[in-house]
Amino acid sequence: MDDLISVIIPVYNAEKYIERCVKSIQNQTYTHFELILVNDGSTDNSLNLCEILASNDERIVVVNRDNGGASAARNTGLAHIRGNYVIFADSDDYVSPSYLENLYFAAKQGNYDIVQCNLESTSDTNKKLQTVAFDSSDVKEITKVQALNERKYKVCVWGKIYRSHIFCDFHFREGIIYEDDASYYIFV
């Protein structure tokens, strides 16, 4: 059986985008995943939309918490994962149908702890994460020196797949913006 992938999405006042985001995850070619939607104290209709989406798909779990920011929401999501792999997305993202499959098979191919993909920006300033068709030649191993000195590792937590063991002793620093930056040096 394929490994379970835990997908974590922090949700804060995302009623305009959350359904598009969730549907892009639901329509994956790789179907063995759990989707953890962490409502971070939204004041709009986001929580209700998340609950409606979850009521129609047993793979979706909704966790509601007081507002604490993206880092706190990601940490809450990490407390609920069951998968061998973890993927983060933002509530305004949407992904190509082979997103999970391509990242998963690339990670398995080289027994990698982290694999990243390309992204495409769309005209409404939201990003569309995507992967190219998986081919073993698309996967390139980089060293920590290359990641740090040549900036070949993207400073963001989305657009990647991680082995879940990475998060055993790691939590996102809460109460700051650009929390992705803080994780960059730990992961590489």
Q: Which residues pair with 65 in a beta bridge?
A: 40
For residue 100, give Cα distances in angstroms to 117, 144, 160: 11, 24, 9
- Please tell me the total count of domains within the chain: 1
Tell me how far apart the alpha carbons of residues 72 and 66 are, in angstroms, rounded to a whole number.
10
pLDDT at 183: 58
Tens digit of each residue's pLDDT (9 = 90 or more) over 158-187: 788 999 998 888 787 787 666 665 555 555
pLDDT at 157: 78
Domain holding 59, by residue range, is 5-187
Cβ-proximal residues to 30 (8 Å cutoff; 6+ apart), any chain = 2, 5, 98, 100, 101, 104
CATH of the domain at 55: 3.90.550.10
Tell me the pTM: 0.85
Tens digit of each residue's pLDDT (9 = 90 or more) over 9-68: 999 999 999 999 999 999 999 999 999 999 999 999 999 999 999 999 999 999 999 999
